[in-house]
Structures are given as structure tokens and as C-alpha cells.
Chains A and B, each alone.
Chain A
Amino acid sequence: MTNATLKQLSQQLAAGEVSSVELATHYLDRIEALNPQLNAFITVDRVRTLADAAAADAARVAGQAGLLTGVPMVHKDIFCQQGWKTSCGSKMLDNFISPYSAHVVEQCNAAGLVTLGRANMDEFAMGSSNENSFYGAVKNPWDLNAIPGGSSGGSAAAVAARLTPVATATDTGGSIRQPASHCGVTGIKPTYGVVSRYGMVAYASSLDQGGPIAQTAEDCALMLNVMAGFDERDSTSLERAREDYTRELNQPLAGLRVGLPREYFADGLDADVAKVIEDAVAELKKQGAQVVDISLPNTELSIPAYYVIAPAEASTNLSRFDGVRYGHRAADYKDLVDMYEKTRAEGFGAEVKRRILVGSYVLSHGYYDAYYLKAQKIRRLIANDFNAAFEQCDVILGPVAPTAAFNIGEKSGDPVQMYLSDIYTLSVNLAGLPGMSVPAGFDRRGRPVGLQIIGNYFGEAKMLNVAHQFQLATDWHTRAPAL
């Protein structure tokens, strides 16, 4: 049961080999046993989970079960879930019980999935190491000294440690792909607008996108079928016909053109990571894929562009956390301004404050053109790079991060070093493209390394098949850490 995939569990439930309550109990027990070392969860509510599981079993008995009814899952603590604490990893929302559910949560509930708990994360999704949580750092299940990646570190660590078969996550600059890579699991960030942002606490609205993390590409496809879909409550949600993300699984890769961007294999890429990616590319070639040399010349500019745009949006998205209506409010204050200042000084962590300051600065009068507007122009250039590249290839392959997971504390004192490690993931968000990470090997220290697959707009089904074909031929995704 422990290593079972989402698909296998759904089959076992359908066959009556296991009940939802048994499954929930199994995972809750594992969480109870292993989470103290991993810190992957912010909230677990056994009573509620078992009640939901019992309801799922009852639905099955009543003949109302769907494909995923009764399968356990975990939500990143960024998705508002009615009746559950939705903290977003922040002291600011430590007391916030959401009165409503995100679109993603509604869809998961409607599909009959049972929530095991709420995954730890970098505060307000700001971070690449999951060291920025008010609830403490998450540990990498492969090496407790290593970071799991961020900001969806709890989601990735929980799947890797087999504390859940699947978890929701969000990706603003790599927050699904990078932790998936560091934890040896599969994750996909869809095209911007495919998954509704309604009820997803906003970090950088024009970049944020929800997606699943699971063991396999096939499971990701099944979860994306649940999570995706038009939602009129999100104006940036795309009104398209529902699609079946499993529809291209099992297509042979013969003739597939895979682009390798020169800039992703230049200086700064760890040799072990480079080797893992080369081997993965070789595997795909073996299956008939053709390799194309491509260039994404503005890749380097993605870092400054991202670290202007994302903080700019964040600085105003986070203004609502003012202590007036919900969330943390300072205990003692002498007037309104004092209340604001103390509340926000106490409620936000250091990285969140840094980004609010940067964002406020780049939007201020006299600086807007030089920073924000310029960053938006770079964003256009980056999207143009991809458009040109996709004239020559069907998918783009490369590393997710320059190195495997670094050690906890290794970069936390140097934000710029931390930001630089996002080099291969940021431009996908800036362009609004889909991207995924697939387990492809390990570095010399035994830490997982993921292969990044970048698709053209709405290329999710194709990317998922590339990953699926790779997983049919390799076993990296089946390896689990010893805990």
C-alpha cells in the first residue's frame, strides 16, 4: 500500500480490496510516525479525515463513486479549504480558518478525494528551500540535512516519503518543479490559466499556477483532470473545453523533436546534474526522439525580471493582511498606523518583508518605468524566445535546478544565491508555459535530480506522455527514500 500510486489505489478501491477508511488510516499513521522528522504538514485532522473517508466509502456502497472517490490526498496550505486552517505558512494566518474553499479544493472534493492534511510551505509561497515557513523548515526525506525545495516543499516531501499518493502544489517561479526535482517525485505546472486561482492565496497573480505533485506522470494526468477547468470566478481562467490529460499517454515518441537550450547547459550547472539530464535525453533518443539544439538567449534576464515582477505583485497582494478583518493583529498598539506596523512586523517573516519592500520600491513613483515596465518588456522577450524555439521542437528538456538539493542553512543567509538557483524555472512562469519535473537520477550524494520538460501552451498532454514513456523505461520514480 505504501508505494502504491494514485491509479493503483483507485483500482484497489474499485475492486473492494481496500476501503477509504483503511487507506486514510494507513496514511494518517504514517504521517504520525514520520512527520515529526520531516515537518511536511502544518495541519492534520484525523477525525475529520476519517469522517470524510467514511463518507467516501458510503458513496461507493451507494454506487456513487467516481474514479478517485476515497483516494487520500494532501493540499498545500495555500489553497483555502472551508473549515481548515489555511495559514499559507505564515504567522499572519496562523488563526485563519477559511470560510470558503478554493476552486481546486471544490473540484477535489467533488471527485471524492479525501484530505489527509495541509502541507507545509514557504511563507506565502516565497522561497526555494522551504526554510521560510513560520512552522519551521521541511526536511528532505532523502537526506534530513537537505532542503526539500520550495515553496511546495511539504507537498513534495509528503509524496516522496509516501505520506500521501498525491498533493496539490503551486508554482510561481518553480515552486512545483524544483521541490519535485529535489524530492524525486513528479510534478506539473500547467499553462497559466488552466487551473483556477480562485481561493489560492495570491503571491504573484500573473505567475501563480496550481498543479499536482505525485509519483508518476500518469497520476499527475489523473489529478490534472480533477484540478483543471474554467472557473468564472477567476478572470484569468481560460475558457476552454475540458480535456483529458491522459489522452496522449502511450503514444510512441518516434519523431518527437526535443529541444535542448544551450543556455541551460552552460556554466553553473553541476556536473552530476548535467550527467543525469544527458542520460535522460539519451533514453528518449533511444525511443526515437530527435534532439534539436535551440537557444533561449534571454534566460539570464529571467532572474532580475522575475524578482521585480513577483515582488511588485506580492507587495500589493499582501496588503490585505492588515490585522483589521482576520488573521494576526498585534496585541498592543496606540493608533491605526501603529496597529498596521506592529501587526505586519510581527505577522510576516523576513523573506516576505524583503519582497514587500522590493516590490513597493519598484512600483514607486519615479522607479516604475525603470523597473516594473522594463521587467514586463523582458517578459515579452522571454516569451518570444520560447515561441521561436517551439518552431523547431515539440518539447524542451533541461535541468530543473543547477544542483540537487542543498543543505538546510546553506543559502539562507544569502538571498541572491538562493534566487540564482531558480534560473531554469523562472522563465517558464514569465512566459506562462507549462513545465514539469520528472525523476531522472541522483547526484553523488544520493540526492534526487529531476528532468525538466517544458511544453508549448496547452501542451500538457504531450509533456505528460513524454514523462510517461520515460517512466515506462526507467525506475527512478519508483525509488523511495529509506525512512
Chain B
Amino acid sequence: MKWEVVIGLEVHVQLNTATKIFSGTSTAFGAEPNTQASAVELAFPGVLPVMNKAVVEKAIRLGLALGSKINQKNVFARKNYFYPDLPKGYQISQMELPIVEGGVLPILVGEEEKLVKLTRAHMEEDAGKSLHEDFSGMTGIDLNRAGTPLLEVVSEPDMRSPEEAVAYARALHSLVMWLGICDGNMQEGSFRVDANVSVRPFGQQEYGTRREIKNLNSFRFLEQAIKYEIQWQIDTLEDGGRVEQATVLFDPDSGETRMMRSKEDAHDYRYFPDPDLLPVRIADEQIERIRSEMPELPAAMKARFVEAFGVSSYDAALLTGSRATAEYFEAVAQASGQGKLAANWVNGEIAARLNRDGKDISACPIAAERLTGLIQRIADNTLSSKLAKQVFDALWDSELSADAIIERDGLKQVSDVGAIEKMVEEAIAASPKAVEEYRAGKEKALNALAGQVMKASKGKANPAQVQDILKQKLA
């Protein structure tokens, strides 16, 4: 049987506010355990939550970027369950009336664009951490993370492959960083993904029973976990078994998912509106102000790059993968007046080199002005593409400008007709066999001759001119 995969993602986006969602305690990561937990996070008797308005602002930014509806009356609810790292015995979250409803996120799968629909995004507080290692027979509780603001972003079950799921997660990850609402640090847990996965026979309308894979904190694990889970579900069904609704965990060591709790163990969270917090009302003016402060969004920027710089849609999508890359490209394209060349270099050599060195564009050793210098020399034929690569290597490892490198290393392309003619004549004289073949109609023989000229010029002869002059002389 052929199976169709259905995936929806729930992403916990940690908002990069200075203080916690319901107190003035700092959210900085990495402090000694329980040093960033005030009486509010410790849930002392009598303490009360007070809404951090910056959380609402950041949530609205995401909603506007996704084209979602912003609910102007926001109610916080208590989600009740007992766990030692949840000090109040309930999590303050949103149940009915989440701040963000609907919207779409465009994703790029291969070279194809797809729109993934959003269900909702709601504000909530993070729990602390239970540390089961290091304490034999006991559990340590660190409440530094408790009360950190989260935006839980829930997608529709629109994805049909692990690749699409990863593309969605990547697009959301890049968007929240683009908007400046999340630091995107997945290792520190700033962006955590839960994947709801089910399979159904192709053509079937109803969804299969889903299992939820919890807390995936890298794109690689997300892909591995979904792939494993899909295979497990298909194997189970093909062996005549049934998939039961469950929550599972992914073990990166074994590469397998394993049951955390079944549907029967599911909590009754006894949601109800938190009486300690008044509904948060969002005025039209506030939404409009935030809209006016929004940075240009990836989709708009992408369209503009195609329009203004003549780059391909695919290149533009890559260039707008992050705000820093887009800004870098635009600076180069603008200054050099060479959009296509700029796109080729940014998506090509720069991307490859950064990837090799594990660096982000913000840490690129070649600043936009220096790449512009290189591109200008390519555009005005000073450099052949081969020489350009050489100059690029030198740019990467030094702080000199392209012109300074060309000067220092004598890499200027030779475009002097007289000099090239002389070298062409020498090559013709030295290779009568190639000349004969060419004249007999073997076009390729010309390349051998051109190669000799390039060699004689130490790569500096203008290749197009060499071809032209060769053809003239042999005509």
C-alpha cells in the first residue's frame, strides 16, 4: 500500500524579553541554578503574576508577519497539573482566544514554494527544569527557566514529508529571528519543536491516528525523528497493528522514538481563566504602531530582489533566508549595481565558505564593501572568473581590498589586443595538428588552442578575447 504522511508542528518559541512573562526577574540563560527565580517563580504563598507587555508586542509582530488575525481580547488560563518543575501546580497559558489566529507561512521545498497554514499562536510561561542526573536517587529542580515567555506556534497538519516539516521549522526559525523576537538558539532551548505525525493510505480523507513527538531541539533530530516515526507507523499498520494516540520522545542515541504516555494517561488540565490576571486588551492603535515598526518581511523583500536586481526567484528565496544575508546581499547589489553577480557570489562562494567554517553571515570575514570591490572588477573585465576566485581566497584571509590584492599579486586580466594576438600566433605555430583538426570542422580543437594561450598568459588573458582572436586568425 502507498501511504501518505501528515505532519503538523507545534513550536515553542522563546521570546527574547529581558524579563520573565509574569515578573521582573531576568531571563538571561546560563546562570547558577535557581538564582534567577524570584518569589513569583518559586510560587511562594501570596505572590501574583503581572503581565510583561513586551511579550504581547512580540506576539503581535509574529501575527502581523504571518498575516494572522490578532485577537484584541486576550484571556490567560490556568493549565493545571502537578510536576516539581511547575511550582504553582499550573501553567499560565492561553486556551480560548489566543493572541494570534490563522495566517500562512511560505516554505521552500527543493525549488518549490508551498504555503503552510497556521492554526494559532498563544502566549504562555515556560516551566523550570528537572535534573535527573547528578543526584543519585533524587531529582534536582532548577527554576531559572520558569516563567520565561513562550509563544507556542501551532500549524495546521499541512506538511506531507519530513523535508516539508524541516522546511517549515526552518522558515519559522528564520522568521522569528528576522523579526527580532527570538534568539533562535536551539541548543539552549529557545526554539523547540513538537511534531504530530500520522500516516494514511493515499486517497483516504480522514487522518490517521497521530502520535506526538515531543521536544525536538535541532532540525536534524526533527527530520530523523519524523522519518523513524513514519516508518514505525507504516510497519505497525502493515503488520496488522494499530497506532494508538500517544506522546513519544525521540532518543538521538538510538535514533528511535519511544512511548512517553498513552492517551489514557492524558491529563485533565482543568483549564479555566486565571483570576489573577485581567484580560489583556489590544487597541487598534497598538497594532497599527507595531505594523509601522515592522521590518520589511522576507516575502516582500524577495519580490523586490527579483524586481530590482533581476535575480531568480530561487536565488531571492535563498537570499532572504535570513535578515542578515538579505541585508548583506542588498548592500553588495546596490553598491556594485550587479544584482545577479552579487546573488551568485553570496549564494555561492560566500555561503559555501561560511558553511565550511561554521560561521554566520554576521561573522563573514568579507564585509559587503570588499565583496563589492571584487564584483566591480569582475564586471569591468579586470578579472576573469578564475582570477576572481583567487582574489576571493585572498579576501577571505586578509583585510585588503580586491584592488589591493589584484595590484599586489599582479592578477589583472590581459585585454591588450596586440599582446593576445602575439600569443595566439605562437600557439597556432606550435600546434599545426590542432589547427588542421579545427579547420576540418572539429570545434573542440579550438579549446586546446585557447588553453595554450591561457597557459602562456598565466591565466590572465581575457578568455573571450582569446576565442575571438583565434577564430579570426583561423578563418
Contacts and interface: CB of A to CB of B under 8 A. Distances in A.
A183 B39 CA distance: 36
Interface in A254-272: none
Nearest to B76: A235
Interface in A230-254: 232-236
Given A322-B84, A340-B82, A364-B270, A316 B90 contact: yes
Contacts of B43: 320, 325
A99 B272 contact: no
Given A319-B90, A364-B270, A236 B276 contact: yes
A206 B48 CA distance: 12
A202 B49 contact: no
A406 interface: no
A319 B277 CA distance: 18
Given A235-B50, A235-B277, A316 B44 contact: no
Given A319-B80, A324-B87, A198 B270 contact: no
B310 interface: no
A319 B42 CA distance: 13
Contact of B275 (A199, A201, A206, A340): A206
B474 interface: no
B45 A88 contact: yes
Given A100-B44, A319-B82, A364-B268, A232 B276 contact: no
B137 to A, nearest CB: 11
Interface in B261-296: 268, 270-272, 275-278
- The B interface is mostly helix, strand or loop, or mixed, namely loop
B141 interface: yes
Given A235-B51, A319-B88, A325-B87, A363 B277 contact: no
Given A205-B276, A363-B270, A336 B84 contact: yes
Contacts, number: 97
Given A236-B276, A324-B87, A340-B82, A360 B270 contact: yes
A48 to B, nearest CB: 20
B48 A197 contact: yes
A360 B88 CA distance: 15
Nearest to A309: B275
A206 B47 CA distance: 14
B48 A80 contact: no
A321 B270 CA distance: 18
Contact of A99 (B39, B90, B276): B39
Contacts of A195: none
A201 B46 contact: yes
A312 interface: yes
Nearest to A86: B45
A86 B84 CA distance: 23
Contacts of B84: 322, 324, 336
A198 B48 contact: yes
A134 B84 CA distance: 26
Chain A CB within 10 A, most for which of B48, B51, B268, B271: B48
B89 interface: yes
Contacts of A340: 82
A326 B78 contact: no
Contacts of B51: 235
Interface in B69-87: 78, 80, 82, 84, 87
A344 B268 CA distance: 19
Nearest to A360: B270
Nearest to B43: A320
Chain B CB within 10 A, most for which of A202, A324, A360, A363: A324
A363 B274 CA distance: 12
A209 to B, nearest CB: 13
Nearest to B24: A233
Contacts of A444: none
Contacts of B270: 315-316, 360, 363-365, 368
A312 B272 contact: yes
B89 A198 contact: no
Contacts of B87: 320, 324-325
A476 interface: no
Given A320-B88, A368-B272, A372-B272, A198 B82 contact: no
Contacts of A198: 46-48
Interface string B193-212: 00000000000000000000
A313 interface: yes
Contacts of A80: 44-46
A316 B47 contact: no
B123 to A, nearest CB: 15
Interface string B308-342: 00000000000000000000000000000000000
A201 B45 CA distance: 5
Contacts of A204: 275
Contacts of A372: 272
Interface string A189-209: 000000001111110111000
Nearest to A339: B84
A322 B89 contact: yes
Nearest to A364: B268
B433 to A, nearest CB: 87
B89 A316 contact: yes
Interface of A: 79-80, 86, 88, 93, 96, 98-100, 102, 197-202, 204-206, 232-236, 312-313, 315-316, 318-322, 324-326, 336, 340, 360, 363-365, 368, 372
Given A202-B276, A312-B272, A319-B82, 11 more contacts: A96-B45, A102-B46, A197-B46, A235-B49, A236-B278, A313-B275, A320-B45, A320-B88, A322-B84, A360-B270, A368-B271
18 contacts: A80-B46, A93-B45, A100-B39, A202-B46, A233-B48, A235-B48, A235-B49, A235-B50, A236-B276, A316-B80, A316-B90, A316-B272, A324-B84, A325-B42, A325-B87, A340-B82, A363-B80, A363-B271
- Give 5 nearest A-B pairs by CB, closest first: A319-B89, A206-B275, A205-B275, A363-B270, A199-B46
